[in-house]
């Protein structure tokens, strides 16, 4: 709606350019995000992992669905934990504040104490997300633009479950940016189950070479100096209008 009226459109992904019609000017800048890649020493990394209540000797799968949580992802993770499918990896799971008590009750009904789940740490929200994303081995999440940018900048393998029923399926197209370079696997929301999610996790996390290659591929989509690029475009626009 705004493309033909805007003087400049800044896009998160190069692929978006072909999907915008009647634009005067399109500039690929990437999306500004706070989270950056960190290289932790062994002791520092172990300290972070221990502070989360996890085991430094097992690979970590970070699961989140945004600040509000993602019900379909949550259901699949509950199934994985109930059937103890995560014996070869551990889960760091942010349910979303609105979902936490619901999930706690569901686990209680299955006689599972949310504070004592085997190979898992479950929290409503992760406040030190930069640390947690950096020490995780793979990420399971929705595919909003900021999430894709963070995953790319960190060089993390990912399993992406695009949010359905959003404008022009943009989360699916976001996810395809990483899928087409073999940096991510997409599972559609209506096809997500505990079985196929667990299978996808194990296929990546138990294959060191695959995990390393996916990491390198994700970094190909990393963006740098995004804020500076956006600032330069704003200055250019103002200068043209004076």
Same domain? For 143 and 41 the reply is yes
Give yes or no for residue 77 having a pLDDT over 80.
Answer: yes
Same domain? For 38 and 85 the reply is yes
The reported pLDDT for the residue numbered 69 is: 61
Range of the structural domain that residue 241 is part of: 1-30+225-242
Give yes or no for residue 164 having a pLDDT over 90.
Answer: no
Number of domains composing the chain: 2
Give yes or no for residue 90 having a pLDDT over 80.
Answer: yes
Same domain? For 107 and 11 the reply is no
The reported pLDDT for the residue numbered 168 is: 76
Q: What is the pLDDT of residues 105-130, one digit of tens each?
A: 999 999 999 999 999 999 999 999 99
Buried-exposed string 92-109: b where 16+ CB fall within 10 A, e elsewhere: bbbbbeebbeebbebbee
Confidence of residue 22 (pLDDT cuts 50, 70, 90): confident
Same domain? For 23 and 106 the reply is no
Same domain? For 242 and 156 the reply is no
Confidence of residue 29 (pLDDT cuts 50, 70, 90): very high
Same domain? For 106 and 44 the reply is yes
Q: Round to whole Å and give the CA distance between 78 and 65.
A: 14
225 contact partners, CB below 8 Å, separation of at least 6 = none
The reported pLDDT for the residue numbered 66 is: 67
Tell me what percent of the residues of the chain surpass a pLDDT of 70: 98
Same domain? For 24 and 80 the reply is no
More confident: 153 or 98: 153
Same domain? For 128 and 242 the reply is no
Same domain? For 157 and 233 the reply is no
* 239-to-5, 21, 92, 195, 234 alpha-carbon distances in Å: 18, 25, 48, 56, 9
Same domain? For 197 and 235 the reply is no
Give yes or no for residue 241 having a pLDDT over 80.
Answer: no
| Mean pLDDT over each residue of the chain, to the nearest integer | 94
The reported pLDDT for the residue numbered 165 is: 77
């Amino acid at each position: 709606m705004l493309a033909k009226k805007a003087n400049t459109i800044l896009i998160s992904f190069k692929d978006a350019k072909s999907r915008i019609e009647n634009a005067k000017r399109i500039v690929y800048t990437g999306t500004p995000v706070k989270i950056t890649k960190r290289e932790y020493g062994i002791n520092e990394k172990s300290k972070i992992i221990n502070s989360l209540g996890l085991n430094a000797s097992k690979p970590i799968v970070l699961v989140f669905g945004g600040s509000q949580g993602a019900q379909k992802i949550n259901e699949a993770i509950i199934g994985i934990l109930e059937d103890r499918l995560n014996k070869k990896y551990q889960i760091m799971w942010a349910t979303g504040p609105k979902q936490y008590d619901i999930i706690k009750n569901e686990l209680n009904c299955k006689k599972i104490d949310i504070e004592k789940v085997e190979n898992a740490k479950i929290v409503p929200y992760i406040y030190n997300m930069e640390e947690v994303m950096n020490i995780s081995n793979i990420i399971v999440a929705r595919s909003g633009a900021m999430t894709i940018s963070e995953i790319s900048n960190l060089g993390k393998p990912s399993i992406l479950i695009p949010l359905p029923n959003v404008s022009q399926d943009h989360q699916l197209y976001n996810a395809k940016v990483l899928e087409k370079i073999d940096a991510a696997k997409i599972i559609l929301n209506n096809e997500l189950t505990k079985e196929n999610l667990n299978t996808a996790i194990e296929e990546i996390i138990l294959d060191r070479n695959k995990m390393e290659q996916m990491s390198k591929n994700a970094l190909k989509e990393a963006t740098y100096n995004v804020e500076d690029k956006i600032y330069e475009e704003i200055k250019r626009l103002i200068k043209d209008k004076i």
